[in-house]
């Protein structure tokens, strides 16, 4: 999983989250102390703890059509551990 910050305004972020199968746009907010990040998109929700250049946390994903049948067949819970990397120069 890769998270790239597309835009930041104070503590508020717009990010893209990319996996081998999907890319999603999410919005999020950093806690006042910068140690937690809450992200939410149409199909994904995550809460991360930040420690230096690493963050870890868990979230959930659901199907995207908006029907209850799609949610029931495509719901998942997931966790991730991420490490900061230098972006393109």
What contacts 24, CB < 8 A, 6 or more positions away? 16, 17, 18, 41, 42, 43, 44
pLDDT in tens, 2-24: 889 999 999 999 999 888 877 88
Name the strand (E) or helix (H) holding 81.
Answer: strand 76-83
**62-71 pLDDT, tens per residue?**
765 556 665 5
């Amino acid at each position: 999983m890769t998270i790239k910050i597309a835009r930041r305004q104070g503590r508020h972020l717009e990010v893209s989250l990319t996996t081998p199968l999907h890319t999603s746009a999410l919005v999020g907010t950093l806690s006042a102390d910068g140690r937690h990040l809450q992200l939410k998109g149409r199909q994904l929700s995550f809460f991360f703890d930040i420690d230096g250049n690493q963050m870890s946390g868990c979230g959930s994903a659901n199907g995207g059509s908006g029907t209850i049948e799609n949610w029931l067949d495509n719901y998942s819970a997931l966790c991730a551990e991420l490490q900061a990397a230098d972006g393109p120069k």
